[in-house]
Amino acid sequence: MASPIKAPPTSLQELIKGLWRENPIFVIVIGLCPTMAITTTVINGLVMGAATTFVLAASSAMISGLRKAIPGPVRISVYVVIIATFVSVADWSLAAWLPEAHKQLGAFIALIVVNCIILGRAEAFAAKNPVVPSIADGIGMGLGFTLVLVMISAPREVLGAGTFLGIPLFGKSFEPWVIMVMPPGGFLTLAAELSLLAWWKDRSEKKKAALSAPLQEAV
Amino acid sequence: MSTPKEPGSFAIIGTLALAGLLSGLILVVVFLATQPNILANKARALEAAVRLVVPNAASAQPYEFVGGKLQPYKGAAGVPSTNPIAYAAVNSQGQPAGYAISAEGPGFSDTIKLIYGYDAKTGRIIGMKVLESRETPGLGDKILSDAKFLSNFNALSVRPSIVPVKSGAKTLPNQVDCITGATISSKAVVKILNSSTQQWFPRLPAGN
């Protein structure tokens, strides 16, 4: 997995773009089901993100390696078989070595199969690119997904349970804001963060326009 | 029909078979590598649960109910039986300490899975622990942690049946104080216990 770092900058760029500029949740806005469902605690977000990153990287590698051998009409079926294989690998590995986290995430690990980030990256990237950039793309998208899961689960856990990574923060007098760990809290947090991001983007674009305007007039 | 590069059915079937074969190979290897650990984890979790509901338990053996008789379960640890299972626990001196029985039923949201301890000599429930539930956080999920609620199950009579009462109103040994704000979840636990104990208690001999 160290190859994308040593590889030419193109692969590194493929990795970095998933973190922010083409972030799967905040920018492409896909894969929202697990984002809503499991972000009640930070540790859930981290484990889910790690499992998804593994599945993304491994299936991207295999799909990219076989891309010339897979006939077009059956490519989706082959992708799903490959993705399902690595999801089972992730599922069993978690059950064997992190039983507590596996129990918490329950069916959502198996549901990575239908996470559209993975099939989306297979179709949009791995099917058209060599192995190394595909792995980089998979890892980047996975890390971007993990980043957002942590950004959503942190306020939810802190406000809704008064803990961070399971460590109590406020003492006994704290009354948890329970709605934050219930489904509406997920929507509220995602909406708040998406609108903050949109406001920030809008503001920086206006700034850029204001800076370049006098120049254009001068020319 | 007119597309020139339509792949033949052999190529399609061949690719699908190859993909299936490859994924099958990966799965077999990973399955063999993880299975011992997964089974050990399950067995450990179960043992811990038995110890929680049967206070003096040192070890426990699974028994299954087949054809109207109770007999030792011979399947591998962690592999579920298709028959109803009870765990007979013994204390450190090898004396019978009670039974642990798992049960499940509908809660306020989704199925509640729990395990409870039964002392065949006194005919009472001696402990209860919710293993899996999706009750409302902050309200219904108190059935997992509320110490006062859980103490209801330390010596609970099941005759003629367990009766849920308002918080603090418990006067008889077969009554359970519900949790304020979690009445439905508390009653769900009682209902699960009532149906499971009626089914199980006649099957279990007093001397293990």
Q: Which helix (H) or strand (E) holds B135?
A: none
Which pairing describes strands B111-119 and B124-132: parallel, antiparallel, or unpaired? Answer: antiparallel
Are B101 and B195 within one domain?
yes
A32 in Cβ contact with A118 (< 8 Å): no
A113 in Cβ contact with A87 (< 8 Å): yes
B198 in Cβ contact with B160 (< 8 Å): no
Are B38 and B106 within one domain?
no
Three-state secondary-structure class, residue B169: coil
Whether B12 and A69 lie within 8 Å, measured CB to CB: no
Q: Is B4 on the interface with A (CB under 8 A)?
A: no
Are B111 and B38 within one domain?
no
pLDDT averaged over every residue in chain A: 87
CB-CB neighbors (< 8 A) of B27 in chain A = 85, 88-89
Q: Is B72 on the interface with A (CB under 8 A)?
A: no
CB-CB neighbors (< 8 A) of B6 in chain A = 73
Q: At B54, phi and psi to the nearest 5? A: -115, 95
B52 is a domain residue: no
Containing structural domain, residue B23: 11-45
Q: Is B137 on the interface with A (CB under 8 A)?
A: yes
Percent of chain A with pLDDT over 70: 93
- Our count of domains for chain B comes to 2
Which tens digits make up the pLDDT trace of A7-31? Answer: 455 788 888 888 888 888 888 888 8
Are B83 and B30 within one domain?
no
Are B95 and B26 within one domain?
no
B177 is a domain residue: yes
Which amino acid is located at B18 in the chain? L
Which amino acid is located at A74 in the chain? V
A199 is a domain residue: yes
A62 is a domain residue: yes
Are B36 and B121 within one domain?
no
Q: How confident is the model at residue A1 (pLDDT cuts 50, 70, 90)?
A: very low
pLDDT of residue A46: 94
A-facing residues of B in 9-68 (CB < 8 A) are: 11-12, 15-16, 18-20, 22-23, 26-27, 30-31, 33-35, 37-38, 41, 45
B113 is a domain residue: yes
- Closest alpha carbon within chain A to B24: A85
Q: Which helix (H) or strand (E) holds B60?
A: strand B59-66
Residue in B16, B27, B41 nearest the CB of A85: B27
Three-state SS across A7-67?
A: CCHHHHHHHHHHHCCCCCCCCCCCCHHHHHHCCCCHHHHHHHHHHHHHHHHHHHHHHHHCC
B151 in Cβ contact with B127 (< 8 Å): no
A50 in Cβ contact with A102 (< 8 Å): no
Are B93 and B196 within one domain?
yes
Count of other CB atoms within 10 angstroms of residue B48? 10
pLDDT tens by residue, chain B, 208 residues: 444 567 788 888 888 898 899 999 999 999 999 999 988 888 888 888 888 888 887 777 778 777 777 777 776 655 666 677 788 888 878 788 888 888 889 988 889 999 999 888 888 899 999 988 888 877 888 888 888 899 999 888 888 889 898 888 888 888 999 998 889 999 999 999 999 988 888 777 765 4
Dist. CA B140–CA B153, nearest whole Å: 17
A214 is a domain residue: no
Residue in A70, A96, A181 nearest the CB of B34: A96
Q: At A103, phi and psi to the nearest 5? A: -65, -40
Whether B27 and A73 lie within 8 Å, measured CB to CB: no
A212 is a domain residue: no
Q: E strands along B133-203, which residues?
A: 156-157, 163-165, 175-177
Whether A89 and B7 lie within 8 Å, measured CB to CB: no
B1 is a domain residue: no
pLDDT of residue B1: 46
CB-CB neighbors (< 8 A) of A96 in chain B = 33-35, 37-38, 41
Which tens digits make up the pLDDT trace of A107-116? Answer: 889 899 989 8
Are B164 and B140 within one domain?
yes
Are B37 and B138 within one domain?
no
A42 in Cβ contact with A150 (< 8 Å): yes
A219 is a domain residue: no
Which pairing describes strands B96-106 and B85-90: parallel, antiparallel, or unpaired? Answer: antiparallel
Residue in A99, A178, A181 nearest the CB of B41: A99
Containing structural domain, residue A21: 3-204
Whole-structure pTM value: 0.77
B4 is a domain residue: no
Residue in A70, A82, A89 nearest the CB of B30: A89
Residue range A52-75: mean pLDDT, rounded: 92
Continuous H helices in chain A: 3-6, 9-19, 32-37, 42-65, 75-97, 99-105, 107-110, 116-121, 131-161, 183-218
Whether B11 and A81 lie within 8 Å, measured CB to CB: no
Which pairing describes strands B163-165 and B175-177: parallel, antiparallel, or unpaired? Answer: parallel
B63 in Cβ contact with B71 (< 8 Å): yes
B6 is a domain residue: no
A94 in Cβ contact with A109 (< 8 Å): yes
Whether B19 and A82 lie within 8 Å, measured CB to CB: yes
Three-state secondary-structure class, residue A79: helix
Are B199 and B112 within one domain?
yes
Which amino acid is located at B4 in the chain? P
Are B91 and B34 within one domain?
no
A217 is a domain residue: no
Rounding to the nearest 10 degrees, give the CA dihedral for residues B64, B69, B74, B78: 0
Nearest chain A Cα distance for residue B95, angstroms? 32
Residue A158 has pLDDT above 90, yes or no: yes
Dist. CA A90–CA B42, nearest whole Å: 18
- Our count of domains for chain A comes to 1
